[in-house]
A and B are shown apart, each in its own frame.
Chain A
Amino acid sequence: MGYVIFILRLLRYFRPPMRRAFLAMTAIFIIGASAPITFAEEVWTFLPSSPLMRPPLGDPREPHHALTAYLDKNRYEGEMGSSLELVRLEPGDGTGFAWGLFGSGHILLEQYGASFPMLGGDWNAGMYLAAALGDSTHRLSFQHLSSHLGDSLQDEVLSTPLEPLFFSREAFTLTSILSPLPDLRLIGEAGVWYNMYPQGDPWFVSLGLEAFTPFTDLLGRPLRGYLTVHGRWKGESGGTWNKTFHLGAQWKLEKEGSRALRLALVYQVGLSEYGQYYLTPDEHLGVSLFFDP
């Protein structure tokens, strides 16, 4: 413990505030991860096929591959997002530790007849450290986010006072998922933005749950229904909650694996998740197809 405090003090002295916090967590992580080596039977895996923490399904800003058609507006969304775990350590005592990267691109399109002009696009990239401890998994991530106004609005930018926002920021986020039952997951998240443009209260908190029905069989593969509820409180917008609900079906390659097709009705209410519209109210109902790798 004394050694940990010594490391934390060193980091506090030499590093700018947010980086040293991240490095401190990393140091604790590494120290914690190295302890069980004496139990032997440890397994190192390079580029495992799925991440240690199964990503929250209902978080609209978790990296996913998805296509969404709004049912109550002429709008579409596309998302390309991947999490790639670089290395995982399973010490043999039931725990697991991992380090990986993630990134995603999100695009919001309007529909006018056969044309689909772009309204906005967001890009995320970052890295994470994850730990699995019994029924719970935890992830500490560092993320860069930028948001860009769609080019279909260029004419308005040139002819009206509308201007693209300079929307760029980095966040540290700690996410914890507890699985008290095999078909239930509870999600909690707290994060803080750093280097935040436009400036504002940097804190955000998320709460969520995922509930699954028992599996049934469809063409020889496991199928189950699912419901997710996800709420994100954002300080920057004066303490508003963005709420997202999924009601859908998950058709999987195998019960325990992550690879699945998901089809869901998605309802979102709150402020827009797209950075260029982060203070604009957004309520919509959509149907989404997710391709979980």
Chain B
Amino acid sequence: MKREPSMTDGQGWARALVLFAGLAIGTLPVPGSAEEWLFLPKEPTFQALIGDPREPKNAIVVQTDQDRFEGAVGLTYEFLQWVPGDGTKWGWGLLGCSFIELDALGGNVYPERVSDWHVGTYFSHSSGDLSHRLEYLHVSSHLGDYLFYTTLRFVYTRESFRWTTSWTPSDRIRFYGGMGYWGHIDPVDRPFYMHFGTELYTGSFGFLAGTTARGYFTYDLKVKDEAGGAVNHALQWGLQWKWAKDRSGALRLGLLYYDGNSEYGQFYQTRDAHWGLAVFLDP
């Protein structure tokens, strides 16, 4: 039986490092420019993909047609940012997020169906309209205890490398795409996936009490080789509300539509289509 490649083979690491080294050599800083090292910068080099259901986030989602709720608590934490002074930026940080899905049984009872945990590290780079992120991510998924008597859990644990390139030609449009490879995948399955998406924004307008807001639309597409081939679509229409246009902190209210296989590992072979209303708290 053919052995699946694993992280311990070192091949994944080697490929990732070669890839990143290539990027680094291609954008070496201009000699003599004023470089800057930033420790724990507040904004990451690679801006969060707000339309990706598995990007670290703080959110509460009501699945309006399923009597289900979701919660997410997450963080992208950049440790170090290098600004060589030539208009580029380099970042290294950590990302993590926990996701929970609850059923609503009535009578204020919301038992847990499943929870997923993500933790990883990334390197990122930005230059003008382009930015890139290379992640190494561990994911595990756990069946909710209320389903213990009806559903058999399985060990769902995996690690991946994912590359994402983002192009932001204006502050109203963003496109991104990339691919990933699960170096270790349990249950064993096909390890490749691709990822594309877009974010579209309206112009900012004055909102309550001197604050600012803008409308947004996102479309996120994941094409996965696993589970016999899965195509996951996630769409959002919403309002992003900020204290000031140039501040990163935002409150977002969104209408969601999801169609594909479940993003929760314990149900990754199960079809999931739902509408939702969500509140996102972007730090």
Judge whether A103 and B73 touch: CB under 8 Å: yes
Given the interface contacts A65-B96, A84-B58, does A47 sit within 8 Å of B250 by beta carbon?
Answer: yes
Judge whether A80 and B97 touch: CB under 8 Å: yes
* Residue on A nearest B248 in the bound complex, by CB: A49
Q: Could you give, for residues 35-64 of chain A, a 1 whenever the CB lies within 8 Å of some chain B CB and a 0 otherwise? A: 000000000111111000000000000010
Q: Could you give, for residues 46-86 of chain B, a 1 whenever the CB lies within 8 Å of some chain A CB and a 0 otherwise? A: 00000000000010100000000001011101010000000
Chain A residues, Cβ within 8 Å of B115:
105, 107, 121, 148
Query: Does A81 make an interface contact (CB < 8 A)?
Result: yes
Find residues 107-139 in chain A having any chain B CB closer than 8 Å to their own CB.
107, 115-116, 118, 121, 123, 125
Judge whether B145 and A105 touch: CB under 8 Å: no
Given the interface contacts A154-B143, A154-B148, A221-B39, does A81 sit within 8 Å of B73 by beta carbon?
Answer: yes
Query: Does A149 make an interface contact (CB < 8 A)?
Result: yes
Judge whether B145 and A80 touch: CB under 8 Å: no
Given the interface contacts A46-B211, A65-B75, A291-B75, does A103 sit within 8 Å of B94 by beta carbon?
Answer: no
Judge whether B74 and A44 touch: CB under 8 Å: no
**Which of B98, B143, B243 counts the most chain A CB atoms within 10 A?**
B98
Judge whether A151 and B145 touch: CB under 8 Å: yes
Q: Chain A binding site: helix, strand, loop or mixed by DSSP?
A: strand
CA distance A84 to B282 in the complex (A): 9
Q: Chain B binding site: helix, strand, loop or mixed by DSSP?
A: strand
Judge whether A84 and B283 touch: CB under 8 Å: yes
Judge whether A47 and B251 touch: CB under 8 Å: yes
Query: Does A158 make an interface contact (CB < 8 A)?
Result: yes
Judge whether A80 and B74 touch: CB under 8 Å: yes
Query: Does B30 make an interface contact (CB < 8 A)?
Result: no
Judge whether A80 and B155 touch: CB under 8 Å: no
**Which of A47, A123, A259 counts the most chain B CB atoms within 10 A?**
A47
Query: Does A150 make an interface contact (CB < 8 A)?
Result: yes
- Size bin of chain A's contact surface: 35 or more
Query: Does A5 make an interface contact (CB < 8 A)?
Result: no
Judge whether B281 and A82 touch: CB under 8 Å: yes
Q: Could you give, for residues 121-157 of chain B, a 1 whenever the CB lies within 8 Å of some chain A CB and a 0 otherwise? A: 0000000000000000000101111101100110101
Judge whether B243 and A47 touch: CB under 8 Å: yes
- Size bin of chain B's contact surface: 35 or more
Chain B residues, Cβ within 8 Å of A78:
96, 98, 117, 119
Judge whether B119 and A47 touch: CB under 8 Å: no
Given the interface contacts A46-B211, A151-B153, does A291 sit within 8 Å of B77 by beta carbon?
Answer: yes
CA distance A252 to B251 in the complex (A): 26
Judge whether A148 and B112 touch: CB under 8 Å: yes
Judge whether A105 and B42 touch: CB under 8 Å: no
Judge whether B40 and A105 touch: CB under 8 Å: no
B5 nearest CB across to chain A (Å): 15
Chain A residues, Cβ within 8 Å of B41:
253
Query: Does B253 make an interface contact (CB < 8 A)?
Result: no
A147 nearest CB across to chain B (Å): 9
- The contact sample of 18 A-B pairs, CB cut-off 8 A, is A46-B209, A46-B211, A46-B242, A49-B249, A63-B73, A78-B119, A80-B97, A103-B58, A105-B71, A121-B142, A123-B112, A125-B71, A148-B144, A154-B153, A164-B146, A164-B148, A293-B75, A293-B77
Extra contacts besides A45-B243, A84-B58 (6): CB < 8 Å:
A46-B249, A115-B157, A148-B115, A157-B149, A252-B40, A253-B41
